[in-house]
Structures are given as structure tokens and as C-alpha cells.
Amino acid sequence: MENGTLMKKQVLLYYCVEMEDLARKIASDSDCIHLHSINWRSFDDGFPNLFINNAHNIRGQHVAFLASFSSPAVIFEQLSVIFALPRLFVASFTLVLPFFPTGSFERMEEEGDVATAFTMARILSNIPISRGGPTSVVIYDIHALQERFYFGDHVLPLFETGIPLLKQRLQQLPESEKIVIAFPDDGAWKRFYKQLGHYPSLICTKVREGDKRIVRLKEGNPEGRHVVIVDDLVQSGGTLIECQKVLAAHGAAKVSAYVTHGVFPKRSWERFMHKNDGSEKAFTYFWITDSCPLTVKAIANKAPFEVISLAGSIADALQT
């Protein structure tokens, strides 16, 4: 103890290529986090040829790795580093994986389905134990809460959320007293309603009509309000677009959206962009975090998108 407060630990943070911008933000947010690099090279046959810089100097240090499993093509090289770092006699090891990418593939609906979320959790559960004990794995807003039970006893999952960052942003908006939170389905409501409990809420639902699934307003009144749709992730964005139409039809003055993970495969973020043709703007704001760095670069300076950085939250988590 010093001056009645606990000394913060010094953390050496390694990172993958995609996460360099976020890593630099994390380091600038805390005097206790120091960046270290890895040489990400490949042999002629395409397999990784990796080198951990300053490997001798990290003995006895608290070490973390900031990962992005944005595609299967980049996972193997990062796993190779993740499995190597704890073996370098480090005091502790933390894996920061803001987006757990297989999270939406967590269940079997018929015999033969492969729950790849379980496979990924099993792989990460076999990260070697460091001198300080099991690896801590920091994940933000994992898609299905039961996935925490997929991890074995050799790792300690730490599940964080981006919702406090959203709340800070909402408080900065004009007429923040008119904000209402909308959940696109019951699952999102169960996940987030307690964290957003001081806001009035709406719940949408999907109902089947013939061969189609139609979004309906299940509960609440959006009339005259700024409605913010909240979910953990977005892929194609179809559900969010249908929710916006329903809310607008029920009298919402504005509609915005927040997701922690803006996955947006095949440039599906383009569906949400404001056009300069004078047409009505469906979404006033669309907030995402920087958990998916490829998306962050793609939507830079494009309305209605705003990026809320996880940097400060991750810096705090590395002190846990």
C-alpha cells in the first residue's frame, strides 16, 4: 500500500496486427500498460514465422495479449503466440479477446450441427498455466451467457460489457430525458435490461407469418421519443432495420442503435449509411465499439456511425 491505495501492477501488452490502434489507445489511457511487439512473419509456404520481441525481459512480468479472431485465417498465428507467452516465466498472463467470434454458434438444433463456440472455448481452456496461475480471458458481451460454462478450469473468464460506455454517451446527448431503450427480442432484454433499468424500455419480437418472420412491437410506447435499440452484435443488420421501421411507424421521433460488436460481413454496414440525396435518415446514431477493428476502419467518418472505444475499460480490466 502507498498513501492508502493499492499499487497498480505494470502490464506488458502484446497485440495482433489488427489491434494495434486499440492497443495504443489502451497504453495511452494508463501509465501502467506498456506496449511490446511481435514480428508477424510468414514462411514461403504461408505458415507463421513468429518472433516475440524482448522475450528474456518479460520474465516475472505481468503480460497480456490483445487478440482479434476476425477470421479463421488469423486465428492460428495468434493462438501460437497465446500458447507461447505464458511459458516465458511470466508472473501472470491475460488474454483480451473483446469479441468472441463463434459466440452465435453455440447450440445444436439437429444431430450433425457443430457448436464451434464450444470448440473455441475448449482450445482457449488449454492455454498453459503461467507462474501466477490460470490465464484470465477478458471477453465483452459474449453472445450467449451460458457460454461461460464452456470454459474449463485452467482459465478464468472475465466477462465485461460495453453498456457503461453507452450510458456515458447517452448522457451527453441533448434531450437525454426523452431516450427510451428498445430491445430487438426477449434475449436482448434479458441480457441488458438490468444495466439500463433507469431508462424506459420497449421490446420488439419476431412473429411468423407464413414463410416470413415479421418484427412487431411487443411492449412499450415509442411515440415522440428518441429510441435507442440495444443488442450485443450486428451481422447483416436486417433485424435492426425492421425494428427501426416498426418504431418509426409507432411514432418514434428518432431511432438510434448500439451494438458492442459491429461485425457487418460483406460490407453490410453500407445499409445504414446516410445518403446525401435528401432522403430520410433511418438511424440518427449508430454506435459500435472498437472490438471489430476491420469494421472500425471501414466506417470511419461515415454517418451515422460513431465508435465508442473499449480502451479505458480494457485498461481497467487488466488491473483486475
* Structure confidence by residue, pLDDT tens digits, 64-92: 999 999 999 999 999 999 999 999 999 99
Residues 6+ apart with CB under 8 A from 203: 182, 183, 185, 186, 189, 217, 218, 219, 220
Return phi, psi of residue 51, to 5°: -145, 125
- pLDDT bucket at 281, cuts 50 / 70 / 90: confident
Q: What is the pTM of this model?
A: 0.93
- Asked if 55 and 88 count as a contact pair (C-beta separation under 8 A), the reply is yes
Residue 279 has a pLDDT of 62
Beta strands in 155-301 (DSSP E): 155-160, 179-183, 201-209, 212-219, 226-234, 254-262, 286-289
If one counts every other C-beta atom within 10 angstroms of the C-beta of residue 287, the result is 22
- Residue 165's nearest CA partner among 3, 64, 303, 316 is 316
127 three-class SS: coil
Residue 4 has a pLDDT of 41
- pLDDT bucket at 277, cuts 50 / 70 / 90: low
Which residue(s) pair with 205 in the sheet?
216
Q: Using the predicted structure, report yes or no on whether residue 25 has a pLDDT greater than 80.
A: yes
Cell 514461403 belongs to residue: 44
- What's the rounded Cα separation, in Å, for the pair 179 and 21? 32
Over residues 21-46, the mean pLDDT reads 96
pLDDT digit string (tens) for 117-157?
889 999 999 999 999 999 999 999 987 777 778 899 889 99
- pLDDT bucket at 6, cuts 50 / 70 / 90: low
Q: Using the predicted structure, report yes or no on whether residue 1 has a pLDDT greater than 50.
A: no
Over residues 242-251, the mean pLDDT reads 96
